[in-house]
Structure 1
Amino acid sequence: MTPALLVGVDFGLPHFDADLDELSQLALTAGLKPVAKMTCKRKAPDAALFVGSGKADEIKFMAEQTGAKEVLFDQSLSPAQQRNLERHLGLPVNDRTLLILEIFAQRARSHDGKLQVELARLQYLSTRLVRRWSHLERQRGGIGTRGGPGETQIELDRRMISDAIKRTKERLTKVKKQRSTQRRQRDRRNSFNVSLVGYTNAGKSTLFNALVKARAYAADQLFATLDTTTRQLYLGESGRSASVSDTVGFIRDLPHGLIDAFQATLQEAVDADLLLHVVDASNPNFPEQMAEVKRVLHEIGASEVPQWLIFNKIDNLPLERQPLERLDLYEVDGQALKRLFVSAQSGEGLSVLRKMLADEVSQIHSEPETPADPRFALDNFGENSDDFA
């Protein structure tokens, strides 16, 4: 594993990760070994070196002392900042965006997942051609060229990348049509569609496996699942089945290129009848993670889909933070949402979730013209509770 120095810059924005814990997890997931961390405060990024020349010297010294062979920034760097930092430090410099892209490239397994990652990578690369390769400035003249300096290598590479982006988008369009056809087939079967969404490593895949008895890959790491998996869940109480989909996890500062590229995958959430927003109840930063999930759902057009909150991993909560009631209401931006506490690992609370889904499906099929809003169909719930007991 390549030793890496992690750097975070606090610009006074909310949710700054002072401990760089998430960046450290990303680095480990990508196959790097964090050997040191450094944080600093600035009012604004330095145009040339992002952190300024003085702090850049400190980073260089710490990298020499700790044996770091790469420097990772928790924020996105411009191509010029990245190039200048590499020249100043004499080491490869990468940012959070590239790290996430690398992880996605390693984890994508399905055909469409690989296409989506490739598109995002090409879009990122198209802005970085001037970063390291000085040979790209050499000019090339073609046969029949009359006058002029000819086409530079960098222009040629940009055109090749542009062509590759166009081809990949066309292939993704075909994938999107195929998924649309599959969804229409499910709709013709009058299927109730449920999508699991949530912050990465909240336990979505573990919950998915427990609900539908599947064998989707699940691990205690970021972005364990990238490809959407859909299975049928038979709800015995209702005599019907629901279609359940496990989707890619969200994360703070998820690159916009990835959100755009993964539209085909995230469309499952947009077209769902119900979203199960899985939250890691044991994570002290769960409110910020919930806010990030909400932001991405709004960006992909799924913010109006009915949603239940599934607070997972209660088996990791200490006794004093165990909820008084397993089922209650949780207010999000003035809206009361169903909240259920479960442990996908131990199975606690899953029988309640299955019954809730069965009741929901039964109610919708019994009243097709006026389907109930799953956010408010609450019977005999406890008092509202925004905090753990």
Structure 2
Amino acid sequence: MHRRHCATAAIALVCALTALAAPGTAFASPAVPRPPAVAPGSPLLPKAPEPLPGNGPTGAPTAPAAPKSLDEIRLEIEGLYHQAVSATDTYNLAKEQAEQQSKEITELTERIVKGQARIDDLKLRAGAAARAQYQSGGLPPEAQLMLTDDPQLFLDGASRIKDGMKATRDLLRDLEQTQADLESYSQDASTHLRKLEANRVRQAEAKKEIDAKIAAAEAIEGRLRKEERERLLLLERRAADRAQSEWMRTAPLQRSATATAQGAAAVKFAKAQIGKPYVWGAEGPGSYDCSGLTSRAWATAGRPIPRTSQEQWRQLPKVAVEDMQPGDLIIYHADASHVGMYVGDGVIVHSPRPGRHVTLTGAGSMKILGVVRP
């Protein structure tokens, strides 16, 4: 009876917590304050406050810091967006793991319900056997058998007793095993629930970091005049072109590399998304982040792959750059925080970062970590 009460309580607890931890549960994150807008034509950086007397090493006023160059501002903005993209991978992985754990909790809850139903059935059968013995006068079958004078009845009774004893042992063994399974399912559900909640927390923290980094980058860009923003784009393109030229000069590419049928299908899908905006955490159809694009493209081609660029790098087979073929994935940066799909001739299709759209660019325009093949 104690075990049944424990099992019933476990079922109620797991079912209630599972409902609370369903994938649709929303987590509110504090809004990230945005700096006030600065009118066009304002300085690139806020004016430093007037120094107070005695701030310098000899009591003289401290000179204001030199304004940053546009190229330094470009690197600062790129760094902030890189941190946002890296946090996006953390968010996506936590989200994927939470969804899997929620599914496993649901399956365990179903097993618990079935296990309890099995226990109830076994107890009913045990009760029926007890009632049958009571109705026979309360004497054990062995005692009743010894009172008979008929040899044939004795032999038949002995056989029935043997079968009955085996059935009783089987019944008790089934009951014991089912109770043990029920306790194991309850413990597993509790473990998955703790992991689920931990991943929900990771999601919320990653979302706050993403929002903060994007807001900081947008604030810097917002201080720039129109001509400065145009100049910034030009500097970005020139830096990418220099990196691509150097990479093409040294990369041992196969000019005649051809894609597999699945690779060609993945490339076709990814190129069809050109022009759609980058949105962190998005995997289509209207917008994508970098790994959302590559994972959706390969899923459409019939080959499901991990959702995040870091898991794609960790789990998929690695290939040498010289063996690269269209459809392969190029992983970028030391933390594997960005991914693009190789389309041939030294070019990738990718979803770059917030504020940009799915586009074609040079495969060597960013720091390559390695290449993987789905």
Q: TM-score range by the shorter chain?
A: under 0.3
User: Quick check: which has more Rg, 1 or 2?
Assistant: 2
* TM-score normalised to structure 2 length: 0.24
* TM-score normalised to structure 1 length: 0.23
Q: Which has the higher contact order (CA 8 A, sep 6+)?
A: 2
| Structure 1 or 2: more helix by fraction | 2
